[in-house]
Structures are given as structure tokens and as C-alpha cells.
């Protein structure tokens, strides 16, 4: 079938990964309104199925590099049996250094000093980082049917006051026959992640191995700092949920009520921007 794409997005990688619609061609008319840009990720809501689109800075930051570096230094000192400050070819035999001894011995004197050993480790780290940058991986995972992901509208890994308040109305839309909600009524959620480097599941580097063994995948929920609303609003939003509650508000009750135009007890970014614009215009 030859036709245009149903959905077109732009994925930004690097230190501040994000997904956004690709200009005016972000989605076909049939999918208009189903693609929602969040604070970092984007969500494609197709009713019975939802797709979370994410960009990752890398194939996981090297969380264990410093630990492995210390461990390799210990191995070097163990290989240096006579504590001479270097490892010769005889000492290297049968150790992890045996296969790479010639590459470590930069001056070719038959000895590997600790400085040469560290330089070799730096070289491997640099090559590994460059290799990870040389490819891009797209990973699709099935997140199954879960209420938490359904209620977590902004995909930040936690439920805000506004999201919990919206829960009854959201759940009511799923109860189509008025007989309650069955598991099959919950939309299936998928996650599509674009990242530099190989997929973690297929990588053989130590960081990926430790990640698979001990977890640590919660970082994938991390989103960028809220950018909507005036600066004073973002500073008051201590829990970074995109709203300012009365507890977070630093002004008077009268000021809070004046800004809270819908009277829901929360100041949204839109309400703060309207108040800020009116205040500046008055000046």
C-alpha cells in the first residue's frame, strides 16, 4: 500500500529527549486529536490501544562504569604479584589482561604500568560511547492493561491531584454497558522507545547485564521539568505535577481565589498565564 503515514513525529535525542508532532503533518485527519504531546513523551490514543512514544538520551547512562573501573583496578593490583607498579608478560598470563597485553603496552617495553592500564580503560570507554552513538534502536514493548498507566495522563510515573480527580470520569467512559469494568475493557498500552545505541536486552556490555539483573528501569518514567506557566508558578509547583495547590501557594487566600477561575482548588499553568498577562498589562 502506497500512501502517506498515519502518524509522523519528530524524536529528539541527547540530554533532553522528547517527542513531538512533525509540524502540521503530525497525523492524518483520521487520527487528528489522538496524538498528544506531553512533557517529553507523546501519547497516541487509539481507544482500544494506546502507544506511548519516547526518546531516550542513550541506551541507558553508564550507571556502573565507576564501580567496574574500581574493580578492574583491583584486578590489576592482584596481577602485579610483586607490587612493582607494573605487570609483565609472565604476570599477565592466565589473567584478564592476557589477551589485551600488547594493546595495553603502549611503549612496547614488555611491561604494563598502571598509567598504561588506565589509558587503555579510557580508550575502551571512549570507543564504547562512540559505538553506542553510531546506531539508533527502536524498541517496542507491550505494557499490558493497567489502571495506573491509564490514569497517569502526563506519563510522569505518578498520579497528581488533578489526575486522581479525573479518575471517576475516565473510568466511567470505560464502563460502556453500566455493569462495571472488566480487564478486557482497559486499553492495551504499548511503549515505543527510540534511543542511541543497541537495545538493552540485546547488549552484552556490563551495564546492560547489571540492568537486566538488578533493574533500575524507573528512569524511563523521568520527564523534563515543567515548562508551562510563568516562572513564579513553576517555582511554587514543588511537586512538579503542573498545578499549584493551596498548600504550595505562597500568597493570600484572596489572591489564590482570584487566579483559580474554575474554582477547582488548583492553579493550572493556563490560569497562571492569564493572571500574569493581566497583571503585566495593568502595570
**Least confident among 6-20, 47-61, 131-145, 205-219:** 205-219
The pLDDT mean for the chain works out to 79
CATH number (domain holding residue 80): 1.10.238
Q: Are residues 195 and 271 in the same domain?
A: no
* Domain termination residue (choose one: 109, 132, 155): 132
| Residue 236 lies inside a defined structural domain of this protein | yes
**Least confident among 46-55, 85-94, 174-183:** 174-183
| Residue 3 lies inside a defined structural domain of this protein | no
| Residue 164 lies inside a defined structural domain of this protein | yes
* Domain termination residue (choose one: 186, 202, 221): 221
Q: Are residues 35 and 168 in the same domain?
A: yes
Q: Are residues 175 and 250 in the same domain?
A: no
What pLDDT band is residue 34 in, cutting at 50, 70 and 90?
confident
Q: Are residues 50 and 141 in the same domain?
A: yes
Q: Are residues 142 and 204 in the same domain?
A: yes
* Percent of the chain predicted with pLDDT > 90: 12
Residue 24: the pLDDT is: 58
The mean per-residue pLDDT over the stretch 13-40 comes to 75
Residue 220: the pLDDT is: 45
Question: Range of 104's domain?
Answer: 65-132
Q: Are residues 28 and 127 in the same domain?
A: no
Q: What is the pTM of this model?
A: 0.52
Is the confidence at residue 192, as pLDDT, over 80? Answer: yes
| Residue 121 lies inside a defined structural domain of this protein | yes
Residue 88: the pLDDT is: 93
Q: Are residues 96 and 72 in the same domain?
A: yes
Residue 116: the pLDDT is: 93
Q: Which residues contact 119 (CB under 8 A, 6 or more apart)?
A: 106
**Least confident among 130-134, 229-233, 264-268:** 130-134
Spatial separation of the C-alpha atoms in residues 152 and 242, rounded to whole Å: 13
Q: Are residues 213 and 171 in the same domain?
A: yes
Q: Which residues contact 145 (CB under 8 A, 6 or more apart)?
A: 183, 184, 186, 187, 188, 189
Residue 283: the pLDDT is: 57
Q: Are residues 140 and 53 in the same domain?
A: yes
Note whether 32 and 11 are within 8 A (CB).
no
| Residue 2 lies inside a defined structural domain of this protein | no
How many domains does one find in the chain? Answer: 3
The mean per-residue pLDDT over the stretch 173-181 comes to 78
Q: Are residues 181 and 239 in the same domain?
A: no
Note whether 229 and 269 are within 8 A (CB).
yes
For the stretch 233-244, pLDDT in tens is 989 988 888 889
Q: Are residues 165 and 53 in the same domain?
A: yes
Nearest by Cα to 233 from 207, 255, 200: 255
Residue 224: the pLDDT is: 59
Nearest by Cα to 157 from 248, 218, 243, 232: 218
For the stretch 93-144, pLDDT in tens is 888 888 889 999 999 999 999 999 999 988 888 887 787 778 888 888 887 7
More confident residue, 85 or 28: 85
| Residue 29 lies inside a defined structural domain of this protein | yes
**Least confident among 89-98, 109-118, 145-154, 156-165:** 145-154
* Domain termination residue (choose one: 203, 221, 239): 221
Residue 108: the pLDDT is: 92
Residue 44: the pLDDT is: 87
The mean per-residue pLDDT over the stretch 243-248 comes to 90
| Residue 144 lies inside a defined structural domain of this protein | yes
CA dihedral sign, ordered 199, 205, 208, 209: positive
**Least confident among 14-23, 117-126, 182-191, 214-223:** 214-223
**Phi, psi at residue 214, to the nearest 5°?**
-115, 5
Q: Are residues 149 and 217 in the same domain?
A: yes
Is the confidence at residue 274, as pLDDT, over 80? Answer: yes
| Residue 4 lies inside a defined structural domain of this protein | no
Residue 204: the pLDDT is: 47
Amino acid at each position: 500500500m502506497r500512501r502517506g503515514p498515519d502518524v509522523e513525529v519528530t524524536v529528539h535525542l541527547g540530554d533532553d529527549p522528547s517527542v513531538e508532532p512533525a509540524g502540521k503533518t503530525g497525523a492524518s485527519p483520521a487520527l487528528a486529536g489522538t496524538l498528544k504531546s506531553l512533557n517529553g513523551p507523546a501519547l497516541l490514543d487509539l481507544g482500544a490501544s494506546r502507544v506511548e512514544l519516547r526518546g531516550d538520551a542513550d541506551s541507558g547512562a553508564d550507571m556502573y562504569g565507576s564501580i567496574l573501573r574500581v574493580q578492574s583496578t583491583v584486578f590489576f593490583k592482584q596481577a602485579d604479584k610483586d607490587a612493582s607498579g607494573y605487570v609483565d608478560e609472565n604476570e599477565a598470563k592466565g589473567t584478564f589482561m592476557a589477551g589485551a597485553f600488547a594493546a595495553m603496552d603502549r611503549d612496547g617495553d614488555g611491561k604494563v604500568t598502571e598509567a598504561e592500564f588506565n589509558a587503555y580503560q579510557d580508550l575502551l570507554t571512549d570507543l564504547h560511547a562512540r559505538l553506542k552513538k553510531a546506531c539508533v534502536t527502536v524498541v517496542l514493548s507491550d505494557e499490558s492493561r493497567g489502571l495506573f498507566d491509564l490514569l497517569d495522563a502526563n506519563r510522569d510515573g505518578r498520579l497528581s491531584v488533578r489526575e486522581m480527580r479525573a479518575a471517576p470520569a475516565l473510568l466511567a467512559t470505560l464502563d460502556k454497558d453500566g455493569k462495571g469494568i472488566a480487564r478486557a475493557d482497559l486499553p492495551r498500552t504499548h511503549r515505543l522507545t527510540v534511543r542511541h545505541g543497541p537495545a538493552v536486552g540485546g547488549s552484552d556490555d556490563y551495564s546492560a547485564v547489571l540492568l537486566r539483573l538488578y533493574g533500575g528501569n524507573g528512569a524511563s518514567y523521568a520527564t523534563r521539568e515543567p515548562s508551562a506557566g510563568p516562572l513564579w508558578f513553576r517555582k511554587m509547583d514543588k511537586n512538579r505535577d503542573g498545578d499549584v495547590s493551596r498548600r504550595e501557594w505562597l500568597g493570600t487566600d484572596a489572591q489564590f481565589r482570584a487566579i483559580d477561575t474554575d474554582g477547582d482548588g488548583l492553579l493550572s499553568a493556563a490560569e497562571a498565564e492569564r493572571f500574569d498577562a493581566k497583571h503585566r498589562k495593568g502595570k
